[in-house]
Amino acid sequence: MPNHETEKGNTIKSLYDGVQDPQFQNPYVDIDEWRNEPAHHRYIHGGFEGTDTRFSFYFPPAEVYEGRFFQPVYPVQGSENAAQSHIDGVDNKIGFAISSGAYLVESNMGGASSDVTLVYRASAAVALYSRVKAAELFGPHRPYGYIYGGSGGGFKTISFIENTTGVWDGAVPFVIGTPMAIPNVFTVRVHAMRILKDKFPAILDAIEPGGSGDMYAGLNEEERHALQEVTRMGFPPKAWFAYKEIGDGALTVLTPAVMNMDPSYFEDFWNVPGYLGADPESSASRARLQHKTVVTGVIRPGKKEVMDSDGAVKMGVDDAWKMLTEDKESLPSFKLEDVPEGDVYLDGAFVRFTSGEAAGLKIPFGQINGNVVTVGSAFGFFTSVQSLDKVKPGDEVVLDNSDYIAIQTYHRHQVPTAEYSVWDQYRDDNGEPLYPQRPILVGPAVAYGGAGSVQRGCFEGKMIVVQTLMDESAFPWQADWYRSKVKEYLGEQLDDRFRLWFVDHALHADTSSNNVLDGLHIVTYIPALHQALLDLSTWVERGVIPPASTNYEVVEGQVIVSSKAAERRGIQPVISLKANDGERAEVSVGETVFFMAEIEVPPNTGKIVSAEWDFEGEATFSINATVNHTNEEGSSAVVKTTYAFSKPGTFFPVLRASSNREGNCSDLYTQVVNLHRVRVVVQENDI
């Protein structure tokens, strides 16, 4: 097989071409039909004989086909029909592909397997077979192929293109992590959330427009350290606006993996000097809960009354993850003799049964309703719902948050090599770790197990990475880490084959649906992702140079970009908004406020096509703004308006603006969006 080579000619890794793989020599088709939703297309479904690999192809009519395919890669293996659940608006993967002259390819990535290489081998086999079907439908040709995926799918996307040859011509990984991301981005975040749970309103007020700018004001030493720690690790402070919604992310899913790989940590944390829990005066020790009590009854599904063991209703064995996430109402609840009282930290707690047939069973805690405890959602803690049938009245039980508190500082004991500079805060002047270190780095092991390899930065074809600046789970600096790996491989040819675009005011999720809170703080990055796929395809197929990478610097874990579009680069418009000539205005009820915004797009990235206002926090953006272009290209514009508030309070008016490469305001899929906020304090009129 072909190899990647360094500039010195040293072989790094053999590449997989998929052509002779005996596992994927016998494809079959079991569905071939025309469909009209969500766009007119020919749907072909099938698999490979003797395997669990399945695929779906969505081919456009011949008259719109332009000789390419897009292949989304999802965080976990599972469905080859995932795109069929995303058919609304800009999130419509099938519609976007067909409107772009492409067909869409989906794979279940081989399904569950202990062979970590199967995820990219199965996906490659599906991509190669899609070319066979395309040639049958449209005549002999080799379609260009592009993969894209975010988060866990970003790990996979990079792995796929780094480990194969001749399969894909380019890739768009987005909201990506590093091999050290898991579980550390979640542990440091949750630790800060526990320490700062009552301080976020003040922190947010400080960093919102017109605030003091000092998010550390009013914090005690421990709180200040926790906020500084998570910020230096890369969490973007502006994302704290969603602290109630972001929760612990994937930490409950990842905790079992850490427990399996490093089980002794959860004892060492509470007993070995150097770990936070070993200090009896620490906040970890103060927050620890080990509440012992007794089960007095079991509430079985479908029954209102508490039933004893004689009246137990048996449930069939089912998949634990499915039961815990999709059908919680089928799980029993447990009435306890007594429950913890007062301000108790119950996040992430477990229910441990210590006597009876269920002794040793450990399940995630859900919530307390009176004296009744429900089961929560987590993966890997019991293998079947049937195991819960062993619980009987009289069984002794402990409500225990010890493991969850322990894992919150796991990142301190996972100090990697010096290339991960955000861990410098855990090194002394000699570069040695300040805290005891675990015998294994969990992150690279998890990354390898999920993607089939660990990112190296060497690949064939071209790549555009899309990363968000307010990402609460894939901290922005991680894209820069990968850029540095690519730079090591490509050297001076970096700009010939690689781009990195940052998108401001966007969180981690790849969806355009926003609730009221989100709509006032964030925009969707999906249009930028779509534009990246289009720019990648024209780069590969016609040699059209895409817009330059975003210009940025990384300072103590934070990615800093310019407030000027020409300096920032990338493809997102940049907005500067003022209320009464400042980012904060103080007025009386009924007093007119003058708003003015300057909007710019980076050079050669299109035209400003729309802008809209939200003044009172409704997130409806029902007021369209008049966009006055200030140059012939339409890349610069001014928006002005006035507004008077009819009631007192503190308001954060928002201007949201969009640009489009071709200046087409009706192109659903590529309206690249940004927003800007200001503060208006409205006071009662003096009598």
482-534, pLDDT tens digit by residue? 999 999 999 999 999 999 999 999 999 887 765 556 789 999 999 999 999 99
Give tens-digit pLDDT for 50-108.
999 999 999 999 999 999 999 999 988 889 999 998 888 999 999 999 999 999 999 99
Q: What is the pLDDT of residue 378?
A: 56
Q: Do domains 29-180+447-542 and 573-683 have the same CATH topology?
A: no
150 half-sphere exposure, CB direction, 13 A CA radius: 18
Give tens-digit pLDDT for 233-287.
999 999 999 999 888 888 877 888 899 999 999 999 999 999 999 999 999 999 9
| Cα four-point dihedral sign 569, 575, 581, 583 | negative
Report whether pLDDT(20) > 60: yes
Give tens-digit pLDDT for 184-226.
999 999 999 999 999 999 999 999 999 999 999 999 999 999 9
Kindly list the domain boundaries of the chain, sorted by start residue. Answer: 29-180+447-542, 184-282+408-426, 289-400, 573-683
Give tens-digit pLDDT for 379-405.
555 445 667 888 999 999 999 999 999
DSSP state at residue 591? -
Report whether pLDDT(309) > 60: no
Q: What is the pLDDT of residue 327?
A: 47
Rounded-to-integer distance, Cα 489 and Cα 497, Å: 11
Cis peptide before 209 (omega within 30 of 0): no
Rounded-to-integer distance, Cα 366 and Cα 381, Å: 13
Give tens-digit pLDDT for 552-597.
999 999 999 999 999 999 999 999 999 999 999 999 999 999 999 9
User: What's the average model confidence in pLDDT over 165-177?
Assistant: 97
What is the band of 375 on the pLDDT scale with cuts at 50, 70, 90?
A: confident
Report whether pLDDT(422) > 60: yes
Report whether pLDDT(125) > 60: yes
Architecture of the 29-180+447-542 domain: 3-Layer(aba) Sandwich (3.40)
Domain 573-683 has CATH 2.60.40.650: yes
207-221, 355-369, 534-548 — which is least confidently predicted? 355-369
Rounded-to-integer distance, Cα 125 and Cα 112, Å: 16
Rounded-to-integer distance, Cα 290 and Cα 269, Å: 15
160-164, 307-311, 631-635 — which is least confidently predicted? 307-311
Q: What is the fold of 289-400?
A: Elongation Factor Tu (Ef-tu); domain 3 (2.40.30)
More confident residue, 417 or 322: 417
DSSP state at residue 160? H
Q: What is the pLDDT of residue 530?
A: 98
Rounded-to-integer distance, Cα 350 and Cα 466, Å: 37
